[in-house]
Each structure stands twice: as structure tokens, then as C-alpha cells.
Amino acid sequence: MFTEEVREGMGWRANTVVVGGGITGLSIAVHTARRLDPLREPVMVLERDHLGSGSSGGADGTLRQYYASPVTAGMARDSLRVYASFEERVGRSIGFLRCGVLTISPSAQAADRKALRQNLRILCELGIEAREMDAAAMRELIGGIEVSDDARGVFEPQTGFVDPAATVEAMAALARSSGATIRCASEVSEVLVDGGRVRGVRTGEETVECERVVIAAGGWSGGLLSRLGVDLPLRAMRVPQHFVSTPGASDDEPGCESDPLAGDSLEASGATRFYDAESGELVAAALEDEDASEVRRAAHPVLLDQELGFYARCEPCTGRTRVGRLGYEGWEEVDRPADTATQADVDFGRWARETLARRLPAYAQSRDEGSTPWCCSLTPDAQALLGPTGGVEGLFVASGFSGHGFQLAPAVGEGMAQMLAGQPVSAFDPVFFDPGRFAAVPAARSGGAFGL
């Protein structure tokens, strides 16, 4: 509704309002603000709570490029380039650590081997460095890993992970320096539409007049859009994540890891060790600083284990390892994303620990460091909805990332900005992500583990 009362009460004016201060909204703001004059055509991000209070704050931050589709693999490749060079270009650290990502195939069966090789071919065609690994190569890469003799995996040596909270902060700083305004504690309660066009948004008592609104509100997007009469298949899901201590990480030096490879006891316990697969040298992941006290290491590459259904990535600055489910089993639909409980259930924590220790027995003695659930948005084919929606001029959605949106955010931001500017979209395939695709072809695609 757009009444006279609202028209009179308009407090702020923007060209584009982005709803949601997660990694997606901030990346869209960066790229959109760069294309516009900040005084005449302001870009405003409105965030209901604090930046990163949605799933971006809890993301694992893994930057995998191993996808079954060239569309998402290409976006992940382009986004990795942005993340990997972020500190050099922008001058802010986002905690990028090039420790490699190892994806273990679901099984040694012919169909899974075929899928693995197909995916690998896609990566090679896109110029992404990745190599197939047999059991011996995986054992050489990660000392102590338990894999069957016929196991197969794919290793991406050039990637790793970022620190999600630092990345959100850095992306916000970049958005501000590109001319965008960010307002936290500003919950958008309503999108104002008049004559089939977006006219503004309402936050509490205030209204912001604008021509375009991008709903990048993560697990909240479906509810916000349905209040406008736009029903998209976006489900808000509660996703648990568990933390355990990383073998060999020091208790004595919080904030800085000890060498996880040092010490006889670790040697004897078969603790996780990271060797360069080609040279055979012990490398313990990327070293980012010459000063030994500042060196950050990952005890092992990120593990995406399709066989046992989990992921594990070290968090060197806390000495913990994050563990979660790979795939959507155990995700729980929630009505109110903001009420997502603060503690994940005990059973999940036990499962995470035991499953990780089956693959890497060095974790069998690890301490439990607690669990945290986060809210994610899920679509029927596990791919995002990106583009205009609802038949309302100026209304766009960028949501439904189904657990793999952090690694795609730079490409999404660029492509959405191209779309908003009415330019051809080169940063992603808008047909692949068309928000209307389910209406046209029901159950057109179905997604596997994290959109694979």
C-alpha cells in the first residue's frame, strides 16, 4: 500500500534499498554503489539487527569450487579470485587461508566415479586447479586419514576459507567507501508498492523512498515477500554446527595456534598432518607471516566428506574445528528465523564428533567446544533465486542460497548490480537463477549436497 499518509511521511530517499546486511546484501551494495552517484542516487543497506547476524555470521567460510554445474563453479572461481586478493586490493584482512579443500566422493561405485570425473572436467574447462586423488594420495595429503582403498576424492589446492565475520565487516567497509549507507537495527516491515512499482520501504515509524528494493534477507526473505503477496519457494531452515578442539592446537596461547604437527605425542597418536602432495614436504598449510608468533596454520585442508556426510574446517585463531552436515538431512524448517534456538541438540554434537573421528581418528580425544545453530534459506533445487520478482517493477530478490552462498557472494553482487543497472548480466546466468523457474517447470532440478 502506498497512501497519501505514507507519501507525506517519507523521511529518507534512496535510489536502491538492499534489505539485509549479510554477505549477499553487502556485496550487492558494493557493486551497485560503484555504478551510481552517491549523492543523487544513494544506495542504502537496511539491517534488522547487526551486520552478519544471519547465516553469514555463522558460515563456515569455505570457498569450494567443486560443483556439478559450470554456472556455479564459474561463479565460485570468480568469487575466490576476489576473496583471495581482497587484502591486497582493499587493505583489510578477511582471514583468507589457502589450505586447500578435499572433497571425498560419496562412494567408489561407478556412478559416483563418473560424476566425480564429470565435475572435474568442468573445473578443468574453467581453468580451476583441481586433481583427482586416490586413497594413497589422500593419505599422503592428510596423515592419519581413514579412507578405504578404493576411495576417491578431488583436491583443490588454491582455495581454502575466509573468516566470515571479518569478511562481512570488510565488505561493509568497502560498501561504505563505495558510497553506500548502512543502517543497522532497521528492520524493514513492509515494501511500499503503488501502481505496480516499488515506491519505498517502511522500517518501524520511518519510511525510505526508493525506486528499487533488493530482498537479500536470507532466511527471512520468504516471509517478507509473502507479506507483499509474492510467494516464492524459500524455506527458512535451522542448521546446526558443532565445534571441537583441533588436535595439537595450543591451550596456552589463545588467538594464536601452536604448531599442530609438533610433539612426540602427536606423532604417536597419528595426529593430522598436512603434506604437499607433489613435493612430499610437510607444509602445514599456508604461512601468512614471517613472524612465527603470527603464523596462522590449518591442521589440515577443509574436508567435504560426501561419503560420511560432513564437513570439517579448522579455525586456527581459536584452535577449534567446525563440523557440520554436508547435505540437507537434519536441517529443520522454522517459522520464525529470529527465534532459532541458541544451542544445537546434544545428539547432533555427538554425531558430528563421532563422524569426524571416524575419518580423522586424531579427533577422537578432542574436547567438545559447543554447538550453534544458524538460519539458512533453502529452495527446491538448492540454488538461489536471483532477479526481478512478483511482477512489481523495481522489486528484486537475492536469496535461497541453500548453504553455499558465501563462496558465491562476490559474483552475485556483481551480477545483481549489472541487472539493477539494466546491463547484460555476465557475472552469473540469470536464467539458471530465475526466481520464476519453479512456476514454469515444477521440480526442474534437484540439488544434492550444498547445491552439488
Ligand X SMILES: Cc1cc2nc3c(=O)[nH]c(=O)nc-3n(C[C@H](O)[C@H](O)[C@H](O)COP(=O)(O)OP(=O)(O)OC[C@H]3O[C@@H](n4cnc5c(N)ncnc54)[C@H](O)[C@@H]3O)c2cc1C
Q: What is the 3-state secondary structure (H, E, C) of 21-88?
A: CCHHHHHHHHHHHHHCCCCCCCEEEECCCCCCCCHHHHCCCECCCCCCCHHHHHHHHHHHHHHHCHHH
| 447 touching ligand X, by CB under 6 A | no
Question: Contacts with ligand X: how many residues (CB under 6 A)?
Answer: 40
Integer Cα distance of 305 and 327 in angstroms? 10
State in angstroms the smallest separation of the CB of 388 from ligand X: 17
| 224 touching ligand X, by CB under 6 A | yes
Q: Is 338 exposed, middle or buried (0-12, 13-18, 19+ CB in 10 A)?
A: middle
Q: Are 326 and 210 in contact (CB under 8 A)?
A: no
Tell me the three state secondary structure of residue 171.
helix
Q: What angle do CA 193, 185, 2 make, to 5 degrees?
A: 15
State in angstroms the smallest separation of the CB of 358 from ligand X: 21
Candidates 15-23, 135-143, 248-256, 348-356 — which segment interacts with ligand X by CB under 6 A? Answer: 15-23
| 376 touching ligand X, by CB under 6 A | yes
Q: Nearest 5°: phi and psi at 101?
A: -130, 125
| 95 touching ligand X, by CB under 6 A | no
Tell me the three state secondary structure of residue 325.
strand
H-helix or E-strand containing 352? helix 346-359
The footprint of ligand X on residues 297-336 (CB under 6 A) is 324
The footprint of ligand X on residues 119-178 (CB under 6 A) is none
State in angstroms the smallest separation of the CB of 424 from ligand X: 24
Integer Cα distance of 373 and 102 in angstroms? 24
Candidates 13-21, 115-123, 143-151, 413-421 — which segment interacts with ligand X by CB under 6 A? Answer: 13-21
Q: What angle do CA 209, 213, 218 make, to 5 degrees?
A: 135
> For residue 338, what is the DSSP state?
G
Q: Which member of 30, 33, 59, 234 binds ligand X (CB under 6 A)?
A: 59
State in angstroms the smallest separation of the CB of 308 from ligand X: 17
Candidates 57-65, 80-88, 105-113, 434-442 — which segment interacts with ligand X by CB under 6 A? Answer: 57-65
Q: Is 87 exposed, middle or buried (0-12, 13-18, 19+ CB in 10 A)?
A: middle
State in angstroms the smallest separation of the CB of 292 from ligand X: 29
State in angstroms the smallest separation of the CB of 71 from ligand X: 15
The footprint of ligand X on residues 16-55 (CB under 6 A) is 19-25, 46-49, 53-55
Q: Which is nearer to ligand X, 49 or 345 (CB)?
A: 49
| 79 touching ligand X, by CB under 6 A | no
Q: Which member of 65, 241, 306, 379 binds ligand X (CB under 6 A)?
A: 241
CA 57 to chain centre: 10
Integer Cα distance of 435 and 452 in angstroms? 19
For 264-366, list the strands marked E by DSSP: 273-274, 302-305, 310-315, 320-325, 332-333
State in angstroms the smallest separation of the CB of 118 from ligand X: 22
Integer Cα distance of 126 and 412 in angstroms? 18
CB atoms within 10 A of CB 99: 25
| 246 touching ligand X, by CB under 6 A | no
**Residues 6+ positions from 141 with CB-CB distance below 8 Å:** 100, 102, 133, 155, 274, 275, 277, 301
Q: Which member of 100, 218, 319, 435 binds ligand X (CB under 6 A)?
A: 218
Q: Which is nearer to ligand X, 266 or 376 (CB)?
A: 376
Q: Which is nearer to ligand X, 194 or 332 (CB)?
A: 332
| 60 touching ligand X, by CB under 6 A | yes
| 428 touching ligand X, by CB under 6 A | no
Candidates 4-12, 249-257, 347-355, 398-406 — which segment interacts with ligand X by CB under 6 A? Answer: 398-406
Q: Which is nearer to ligand X, 58 or 387 (CB)?
A: 58
| 405 touching ligand X, by CB under 6 A | yes
Q: Which is nearer to ligand X, 105 or 167 (CB)?
A: 167
Which residues bind to ligand X, rule: CB under 6 A?
19-25, 46-49, 53-56, 58-62, 187-188, 216-220, 224, 239, 241, 324, 374, 376, 399, 401, 403-407
